Amino acid sequence: MALSKEQVKNVEDVLKASLRNKFQNYKPEPASMPFHTRLLGKDRLALYSFIHSLNTNFGTSIFEPVGLALAQKNFKMATCQATAGDRISTGAQAEIQKIIDGLTTATTSPNKKEEIERIRKVCQSGEMIKAKPTKVDLMFESKDGGYYLFDIKTAKPNAGGFKEFKRTLLEWVAVILANNPKADINTFIAIPYNPYEPEPYTRWTMRGMLDLDNELKVADEFWDFLDGKGTYKDLLDCFERVGIELRDEIDNYFKRFNKKQ
């Protein structure tokens, strides 16, 4: 089993706290849907609205704290919603744009290792200017000093956003190297589950912009990276146990909406 008893308890505690916090702070949309309400009932509409709301922030409310709980014992430093840095060189900015332009026009293919070295060469060239890169969803420093930064995306990210995803990953590289030019830096897009199971994840939409071997981790690739092989399966079991344990609590919460009919 990948997860220890202590980790299982930590993960399940995080899940329970996240759900209960959501219940306490959740307010259904006030939109009137008379046909839907009469057909389905207020409780089912409230449940639908709740699930939709939960989906929109599942990353920050569930996946980030769970990922943090899993990774803390395996990394020297583990944090979420982190700032990678606040300075970037004009040389690195220009190099990032060249990389993006090459990928956009398909004159080059994504190669993360080469791209990192290109940025490393100019990471302190030109003027050092203030930067405000995208917050890092999960950031780790390994025991041997390597940095691992993750941008958690929905299971079916918009294909039109891949250029900006790529820019974010490269900017994180640049701001880390601005402070530590010799740093071992790795930046990834993480997709917590595969919506196409049992079929393989459809990665072709990302090919051409992302280095699929070195910039993307999907489902078990992501979770097993945090805490070893088998973590993904154990994590699903944790979610199932919490769902069973809280079932009555969840049902009672949504029954309250029918009382207001």
Tokens standing for 245?
């344990």
DSSP tag of 46: H
Contact 152/190 with Cβ under 8 angstroms?
yes
| Residue 113 lies in domain | 5-258
Lowest mean pLDDT, pick from 131-145, 146-160, 173-187: 146-160
Contacts 24+ apart (CB under 8 A), 2-7: 2/224, 2/227, 2/228, 2/229, 2/230, 2/231, 2/233, 2/234, 3/70, 3/227, 3/230, 3/231, 3/234, 3/235, 3/238, 7/69, 7/70, 7/73, 7/227
| SS3 call for 216 | strand
Residue 12 contacts residue 241 (beta carbons within 8 Å): yes
**What is the amino acid identity at position 42?**
K
Rounded to whole angstroms, the Cα distance separating 251 from 240 reads 16
Q: Tell me the residue ranges of DSSP E strands in 62-203.
A: 77-82, 87-89, 128-130, 136-141, 147-152, 185-191
Exposure on the CB side of residue 48, measured as CA atoms within 13 A: 10
Sign of CA dihedral 113, 116, 120, 125: positive
Average pLDDT over residues 60-86: 92
Residue 135 confidence (pLDDT)? 96
Give the count of domains, the chain: 1
CA distance 13 to 76: 23
Per-residue pLDDT tens digits for 83-115: 999 999 999 999 999 999 999 999 999 999 999
Report residue 210 as tokens.
């992302």
Residue 261 pLDDT exceeds 70: no
CB 188 within 8 A of CB 151: yes
Share of the chain above pLDDT 90, in %: 62
Task: Note the pLDDT tens digit of each residue in 14-40.
Answer: 899 988 888 887 776 656 777 877 787
Amino acid at position 108, single letter: T
Q: For residue 145, how many C-alpha atoms fall within 13 Å in the half-sphere facing its CB?
A: 4
Q: Which of 129, 167, 147 lies closest to 84, judged by CA?
A: 147
- The pTM (predicted TM-score) of the whole model is 0.87
Q: Which residue has the higher pLDDT, 138 or 37?
A: 138
